Structure 1
Amino acid sequence: MEGSKGKVIYVNGPVVKAINMKDFKMREMVTVGEKKLIGEVISIDEDLGTIQVYEDTTGLKVGDDVISTQKPLSVTLGPGIVGNIFDGIQRPLNIIFDKSGNFIKEGIGLETIDKTKKWYVKFTVKEGEYLKGGDIFGIVEETPLIKHYLMVPPNVEGKILEIKEDGEYSLDTILIKLDNGQELKMYQEWPVRIPRPVKERLPIQKPLITGQRVIDTFFPIAKGGTAAIPGGFGTGKTMTQHQLAKWSDADIIVYIGCGERGNEMTEVLEDFPKLIDPSSNLPLMNRTILIANTSNMPVAAREASIYTGITIAEYFRDMGYNVAVMADSTSRWAEALREISGRLEEMPAEEGYPAYLPSRLAEFYERAGYVRTLNDKEASVTIIGAVSPAGGDFSEPVTQNTKRFVSAFLGLDRKLAYSRHYPAINWLSSYSGYITQLEEWYRQNVAEDMLNLRAEMMKVLQEESKLQETVKLVGEDVLPDEQRLILEIAKLIKVGYLQQNAYHKEDTFVPLNKQYMMLKVIYSFYKFAKEAVKVGVPISVIKNSNHFYKIIKMKYEIPNNFGDSFDKFINDISEYFTNLIKEYEGD
């Protein structure tokens, strides 16, 4: 209701209670106190309302005013988002820095994208045309990599009465007037907690190509899918997400630094603007949006940051882009939920987390998907969430509940990380539920037997894990040669294939066809070595062959545009073993 005004009666960190709140609405955005701190109504009990404030409440006092803004917590969606760095409620950090220096001052207001900057608009519709929600009416070249398609908001439709000519306009300019009195500008606002509508959800059918062998071949992530990367301190969660952000074939990356340490986020903010997009040779920021909400920022804004990020992702999805959201990390977000829940005096569940933790996680991951948009384009939002379990304990509530809602689980292993095996993804505890859905795509686009080879290699790794128990007890020498061969082939897979060097020009990104050929080389060696062992060739001879070491080095020595190098290599292996088997059969 216009002019609704509450009075603060209680302040506890980010949680504020106020009276005279009966005219306010649930999830409404409000301003609190003289500094007009931004908050959101999270409960109303007759005349008493509870508000979570997204800024530092130091200095707030009983009796201060709570004023309605007449709208829910929303983000402004328009040109100027890509390449920008925001806080958890979409305030641009560069504008805030110009206004208040190194620290965000309370009451700086809800700054959004720059509405005074002019953008050249090329219209794609004419006067008299009928527009409905999702239709594209204009194009803006936002960056050299991203065309920003201006869309009719989902809840608006009508016939064009007046339309501007192509030219430069600011965000606040009315570009189109409809016959029902509605007006279209370059931007729209959308509540962060409500998913944006789509025409239909489509079955998942394409992988998100990352160039990381352990992911693309062994535990693929699908476009429109969900993945979790859990791991203790120092296991490489952030580094893995950086690799995915840089090399994955998503059109747009939304990176949410949610409650991470300030120095880690600083590294991201400094590194990302310097990174070059490998496919275009232009700065990676031309297709990246950063949301920085460090652990020393207000806890309620941390809770809102992942909703801000996913809403921005859905907006670009609606234009027809494939968007990848990196949430680093959902554990810090869950801790923010726990802190707010504690201050609200709600009944705690497991380890103090609120009872609604699973449903909030489900709500977030559910917003991923491969869809047909309102303007009939196929597009996707892929969510990859890092999880930081305390002490690397995967049995804690956030990891366990995340596992219920994601289809790819890339568990990072401390032992692997400390032995410098990166990415430190444990091949025994990780899994991907997308393998059967993507099987047809791999058959048609890579090779008929790609996933069969993967299954064979996984079998070797699982067999090796069982044999290691025996080796620890009695040593390797007592094993028969067939089993010792398994140990050696597992070493080839681990060191020659799964281990990848992010700083090597040939190894940082590996195309799928090279991944397949590398796998084929290892499998060929294994197949011939098995035959050799059967006729009595000692394992020491097989291990000491030059080919064994060539396989370990092939990731560096055979370039990504490999020509017939792998075919020659397989022929060499075949020839070598054929001669070796003849020699031992002759004996």
Structure 2
Amino acid sequence: MSQATQTETTEGTGRIDSVSGPVVTAVDLDARMNDVVYVGDEGLMGEVIEIEGDVTTIQVYEETSGLGPGEPVENTGEPLTVDLGPGMLDAIYDGVQRPLDVLESKMDSAFLDRGVDAPGIDLDEKWEFSPTVEAGDTVEPADIVGTVPETVTIEHKVMVPPDFEGGVVESTKEGNFTVTDPVVTLENGEEVTMRQEWPVRQKRPASNKRTPRTPLVSGQRVLDGLFPIAKGGTAAIPGPFGSGKTVTQHSLAKFADADIIIYVGCGERGNEMTEVIEDFPELEDPKNGNPLMARTSLIANTSNMPVAARESCVYTGITIAEYYRDMGYDVALMADSTSRWAEAMREISSRLEEMPGEEGYPAYLAARLAQFYERAGYFENVNGTEGSVSVIGAVSPPGGDFSEPVTQNTLRIVKTFWALDADLAERRHFPSINWDESYSLYRDQLDPWFKENVAEDWPERRQWAVDTLDEESELQEIVQLVGEDALPEDQRLVLEVARYLREGYLQQNAFNPTDMYCPPEETYAILRTIQVYNDEAFDALDAGVPIEDITDIDAAPRLNRIATQEDWESYVEDLREEIREQLRSLY
């Protein structure tokens, strides 16, 4: 919450009636739905989720062992909110925006006691504020009134809170101030500070939601080339254990063409989240050489943390993302994984004795998923800027079963589907995205951008690759029955070309410093070069050249090495010329 202490705004005090895991019932509590309360003698943070007569049901964000009937419950009278202001980047939070590094220093230990709390942003740190308005100017809610150099990468824009009336500026200040110091005063008495609070379950206002027309370039050929996502788009990455969901999201977090990255580790294994927390501060931003954390905010809620906090962590992440969107930034949010979020909802729902839906998930699972993904989009903001929130959610279907409820309900909402394949992962084909099952509904609206910025014939080249891979999939079924030698020569050549598409185009080495990121221009060049080989090879085949001679040319294996070349422009030009010369010399 906005890190209110137990002594703030206590509207009503009740007592615990019963405890069932993270669900606590209280009586004699004057409360409203979604109010934040402090439970028990230790003051454990919780949220009101049901009110029936005099009985109030609360989900507690911390471990409830040791709580007993009769202990006090204090109401703050406020919903679960987050602190918004400078200092959120280069920070690591838990599911309710408590800064883990601050709590660790408080406890002098990596193991936190229950009931410890800290503000989401440092209330004592001073920031250098530069006003962008002056006395006499008129400002409205969400207008930008000044800037703060939050990190070496991001300029934080201080805005009038959306719930202010706005009006004429009476005075401004310039210099170093804390986030609670007034920096702009309006004639109506309203004082703008660098800190805002916002309820996590309520989306921030925007003027208009527009159709996204610009791709979120990821640097991953299989994504940008075949299944692109738009800035402001939604994507799902489902896959079984070990198929590469987390690694794919790490690559997106590092290379995606976004100004701000919000990474939400929702119920993942502790060792995976530890790897993120340890690695991200060491990573260099490929855009500018600064630390990657200078434009990243991490929310860590591992599988051993209280289940209720897991349910709230995605809302915390999307609210922070919307705040930076309001400044005019493009934000990418990675949620890993929404399945753990859904499992948290299922556990809390069962303790509330609600009627279960499919596989025990609550009946409102689809609605909650839709509410979350619907907060993504490309927006015209209230202050006249434009910004976007792209949401990429990993899904962990049990046993890799894509027919389970979380995956199916997610697919009804998102417009990009990157299906991870355990068989590809076992064959060491990474990213292990199955090109037969994946799709993107953003292709048509993004094609004009690719035509203008990369190549006029981008859609045609992509379609050729898709058709070739589809044909290979059909031929492989025949090959498994009768063997490749039984196929006609033209079909054997299709298999050879498809092999280069898989190995030289779709496969990408995340550990090779040259291949780990592939700009769209290089993605196009690799595909175009493979198609040159395809066209020249079929011409040679039509001229009567045996297929063995065609596939044995020296230049062909070099198709798999284009992505590892630093000077790829000259490399592909030379390679195309060699392919033409060597194949044409055969007839």
Aligning the two structures, in what range does the TM-score lie when normalised by the shorter sequence? over 0.9
**TM-aligned CA deviation for residue 178 of structure 1:** 2.1
How far apart, CA to CA, are the structure 1 residues paired with 2:462 and 2:511? 26
**Correspondent of 1:232 among 227, 235, 240:** 240
Letter matched to residue 105 of structure 1: D
**Correspondent of 1:203 among 204, 211, 234:** 211
**Correspondent of 2:197 among 184, 189, 194:** 189
**TM-aligned CA deviation for residue 110 of structure 1:** 5.0
Letter matched to residue 83 of structure 1: D
- 1:570 aligned partner: 576
Moved more, 255-264 or 65-74: 65-74
1:359 aligns with 2:367: yes
How far apart, CA to CA, are the structure 2 residues paired with 1:229 and 1:366? 17
* Secondary structure, counterpart of 1:44 in structure 2: strand
How far apart, CA to CA, are the structure 2 residues paired with 1:383 and 1:161? 37
1:52 aligns with 2:56: no
How far apart, CA to CA, are the structure 2 residues paired with 1:305 and 1:383? 14
**Correspondent of 1:481 among 479, 483, 489:** 489
- 2:529 aligned partner: 521
1:138 aligns with 2:180: no
1:160 touches 1:176 (CA, 8 Å); kept in 2? Answer: no
2:10 touches 2:74 (CA, 8 Å); kept in 1? Answer: no
**TM-aligned CA deviation for residue 372 of structure 1:** 0.8
**Correspondent of 1:43 among 20, 33, 50:** 50
How far apart, CA to CA, are the structure 2 residues paired with 1:337 and 1:121? 41
* Secondary structure, counterpart of 2:412 in structure 1: helix
**TM-aligned CA deviation for residue 169 of structure 1:** 0.5
How far apart, CA to CA, are the structure 2 residues paired with 1:111 and 1:165? 24
How far apart, CA to CA, are the structure 2 residues paired with 1:510 and 1:173? 45
1:36 touches 1:109 (CA, 8 Å); kept in 2? Answer: no
**Structure 1's 110 and 4: CA in aligned 2 closer, same or farther, altered over 3 A?**
farther
Moved >6 Å (runs of 4+):
none
How far apart, CA to CA, are the structure 2 residues paired with 1:221 and 1:79? 29
How far apart, CA to CA, are the structure 2 residues paired with 1:568 and 1:468? 32
Letter matched to residue 256 of structure 2: S
**Structure 1's 161 and 208: CA in aligned 2 closer, same or farther, altered over 3 A?**
closer
Matches within 5 A, 1:299-338: 299-338=307-346
Letter matched to residue 396 of structure 1: E
**Correspondent of 1:91 among 91, 98, 115:** 98
**Correspondent of 1:155 among 150, 154, 163:** 163
2:415 touches 2:442 (CA, 8 Å); kept in 1? Answer: yes
List alignment gaps of at least 5 residues for structure 1.
none
Over aligned residues, Cα RMSD in angstroms?
1.2
1:14 touches 1:300 (CA, 8 Å); kept in 2? Answer: yes
**TM-aligned CA deviation for residue 104 of structure 1:** 2.1
Matches within 5 A, 1:396-411: 396-411=404-419
* Secondary structure, counterpart of 1:244 in structure 2: helix
**TM-aligned CA deviation for residue 388 of structure 1:** 0.8
1:19 touches 1:49 (CA, 8 Å); kept in 2? Answer: yes
Letter matched to residue 86 of structure 2: P
1:344 aligns with 2:367: no
How far apart, CA to CA, are the structure 1 residues paired with 2:152 and 2:168? 30
**TM-aligned CA deviation for residue 161 of structure 1:** 5.4
**TM-aligned CA deviation for residue 158 of structure 1:** 2.8
How far apart, CA to CA, are the structure 2 residues paired with 1:78 and 1:417? 41
How far apart, CA to CA, are the structure 1 residues paired with 2:115 and 2:203? 28
* Secondary structure, counterpart of 1:546 in structure 2: coil
1:37 touches 1:109 (CA, 8 Å); kept in 2? Answer: no
- 1:68 aligned partner: 75
* Secondary structure, counterpart of 1:405 in structure 2: coil
How far apart, CA to CA, are the structure 2 residues paired with 1:312 and 1:418? 37
**What do the CA deviations read for 1:112-133 (whole angstroms, capped 9, x no partner)?**
2110001110011112222111
1:127 aligns with 2:102: no
Letter matched to residue 301 of structure 1: A
**What do the CA deviations read for 1:478-534 (whole angstroms, capped 9, x no partner)?**
100011011111100000110000111210001111111111101111111112112
2:16 touches 2:24 (CA, 8 Å); kept in 1? Answer: yes
* Secondary structure, counterpart of 2:262 in structure 1: strand
How far apart, CA to CA, are the structure 2 residues paired with 1:301 and 1:160? 41
Letter matched to residue 551 of structure 2: K
**What do the CA deviations read for 1:451-487 (whole angstroms, capped 9, x no partner)?**
1111111111111111111111111111000110111
1:31 aligns with 2:38: yes
- 1:502 aligned partner: 510
How far apart, CA to CA, are the structure 2 residues paired with 1:273 and 1:117? 21
**TM-aligned CA deviation for residue 292 of structure 1:** 0.2
How far apart, CA to CA, are the structure 2 residues paired with 1:45 and 1:180? 41
How far apart, CA to CA, are the structure 2 residues paired with 1:65 and 1:128? 50
**TM-aligned CA deviation for residue 565 of structure 1:** 3.1
**Correspondent of 2:474 among 443, 466, 472:** 466
1:244 aligns with 2:252: yes
- Percent identical among aligned pairs is 53
TM-score (norm 1): 0.97
* Secondary structure, counterpart of 2:549 in structure 1: helix
1:130 touches 1:157 (CA, 8 Å); kept in 2? Answer: no
**TM-aligned CA deviation for residue 578 of structure 1:** 2.4
1:449 aligns with 2:457: yes
TM-score (norm 2): 0.97
- 2:298 aligned partner: 290
**TM-aligned CA deviation for residue 184 of structure 1:** 1.3
Letter matched to residue 93 of structure 1: L
How far apart, CA to CA, are the structure 2 residues paired with 1:2 and 1:66? 10
How far apart, CA to CA, are the structure 2 residues paired with 1:158 and 1:310? 26
Letter matched to residue 173 of structure 1: D
- 1:391 aligned partner: 399
